[in-house]
Chains A and B, each alone.
Chain A
Amino acid sequence: MCLAVPGRVVGIEDRDGTRMARVDFGGVVKDVCLAYVPDAEVGEYVIVHVGFALQRLDEESARASLELFEQLGLLEEEFGDAWARAEAEQTAGQEGVR
């Protein structure tokens, strides 16, 4: 119930003096109140919870996070992929049992 999910703003309108958006959640479109993120624009992603946009998603921060995660793999390049090695060892072990 407390889960907030990202969705893309596909339309904006004024309703009874309240700024409302149509937000697309991977194909399901719902009405969302934009009162707390009034400057959100069509095409942008917002975090939505129980019918209210709580925050705009920042694409630059998202990309920076993903790039950081990419760089964490430097060890792997030096020492090889430990996961692949473990998997190979496990397979070899199973073959041994047979």
Chain B
Amino acid sequence: MKYVEEFNDPQLARRLLDEIHATVTRPWAMMEVCGGQTHSIIRHGIDQLLPDEVELIHGPGCPVCVTPLEMIDKALAIAARPDVVFCSFGDMLRVPGTGRDLFRVKGEGGDVRVVYSPLDALEVARREPDKQVVFFGIGFETTAPANAMTVHEARRLGIDNFSLLVSHVRVPPAIDAIMRAPDCRVQAFLAAGHVCSVMGVAEYPELVERHRVPIVVTGFEPLDILEGVRRTVRQLERGEHRVENAYPRAVRERGNPAAMRMIEEVFEVSDRAWRGIGVIPDSGWRLSDAFRAYDAEYRFDVGHVRTEESGECRSGEVLQGLIKPNDCPAFGTSCTPRTPLGATMVSSEGACAAYYLYRRLEVTPVG
């Protein structure tokens, strides 16, 4: 068992598709929350193999995409300082802030480095004690255990020249906000599997009851997504709304208790602004008082940076599932991965980037 090839089997995909085709009787709209799932769906053409009745609405689960412009501008201000080594995941470097991006800061002499893990940034801090090393800590519940542990390690090992610029977001408050939006069309959710690997499913029964929508924990390989859709369609057709786990090989009901304990120790729940959506109450984490000394926003005093979102990029509507990426007039013309207007065109999980990679030949007007 390699856990990847087996879940890409075309014969089994047919069986799942047959079952979905046989079950569906009327139109249903469901949202896949995670950008990784969006890419898998578009890359494999899963949406085109499903019955016409099943519509997949792409959700806001791309951490790079939902990081607000203001936070990017704070990152740029910190990264430009001569005493700072600014470490980040590669995706963030081309996300446009107001007027420039991290690549530009690097080109202008800033010490900006791409790392694979926040622990790599901590190692830089240990090796270069004369520098202030800042890690751009973005992400959902999947990334939070890594960032929490890194700050915890910094304190344990006495590496005081390390700090974290935190922009952490949580999935359940976003699901709640999407369902409360007046023009919401979502009737069910494929929940992000790896978020649940960490957090379990305890936060979902309340959402299922409040909004009367099925929530099916779903994985990322083609068969995983089809199984998530199959179970969701079955619930919808039966008029049910329950939490189901369609990704049991990686998700336990209680999640990962050790990771949850570390998150709880290092972070506290806070309001967060989501790019294009606005502030969602209790939708993120910030460092708790005990670890505030490691918060780059305080250490470098960038709390005053205020930025308005531009109107040209319609990523907010894409992230809420109100429009598809190719409905935006800028898609593939003034907005491409080389010259992105917004993060959804940059990130390897952004919905616009997925459509550009796999669908642009179908949607670019001819002549």
Contacts and interface: CB of A to CB of B under 8 A. Distances in A.
Interface of A: 1-4, 6, 16, 18, 26, 30, 33, 35-38, 45, 47, 49-52, 54-55, 57-59, 61-66, 69-70, 72-73, 75-76, 82-83
Nearest to B11: A73
Interface of B: 1-4, 6-7, 12, 14-16, 18-19, 22, 34-36, 61-64, 89-91, 116-120, 138-140, 142-143, 145-146, 149, 153, 157, 194, 197-198, 220, 223, 227, 248-252, 256, 258-259, 262, 347-349
A70 B140 CA distance: 34
Contacts of B248: 58, 61, 64-65
A75 B61 contact: no
Given A1-B64, A4-B197, A69-B16, A54 B149 contact: no
Contact of B19 (A45, A64, A72): A72
Contact of B18 (A26, A52, A66, A82): A82
A3 B38 CA distance: 12
Contacts of B117: 33, 50-52
Q: Which 4 A-B pairs have the closest CB atoms?
A: A51-B117, A61-B248, A55-B197, A62-B249
A65 to B, nearest CB: 7
Contact of B22 (A38, A65, A75): A75
A2 B249 contact: no
Given A4-B197, A55-B197, A35 B149 contact: yes
A30 B22 CA distance: 44
Nearest to B153: A18
A37 B259 CA distance: 9
| Interface SS majority for chain A | mixed
Contacts of B4: 6, 26
A75 B252 contact: no
A2 B35 contact: yes
B344 to A, nearest CB: 13
Contact of B256 (A37, A62, A72): A37
A62 B4 CA distance: 10
A54 B259 contact: yes
B145 A69 contact: no
A55 B250 contact: yes
B18 A76 contact: yes
A70 B157 CA distance: 51
A18 B149 CA distance: 11
A76 B16 CA distance: 11
Contacts of A26: 2, 4
B183 to A, nearest CB: 27
A36 B194 contact: no
B40 to A, nearest CB: 10
A55 B91 contact: no
B36 A2 contact: yes
A54 B347 CA distance: 22
Contacts of B259: 36, 54
A54 B142 contact: yes
Interface core residue of A38, A54, A57 (most chain B CB under 10 Å): A54
Interface core residue of A37, A52, A63, A82 (most chain B CB under 10 Å): A52
Contact of B348 (A3, A4, A64): A3
A33 B252 contact: no
Given A38-B258, A50-B116, A58-B250, 5 more contacts: A1-B90, A1-B348, A2-B143, A54-B194, A65-B227
B157 A16 contact: yes
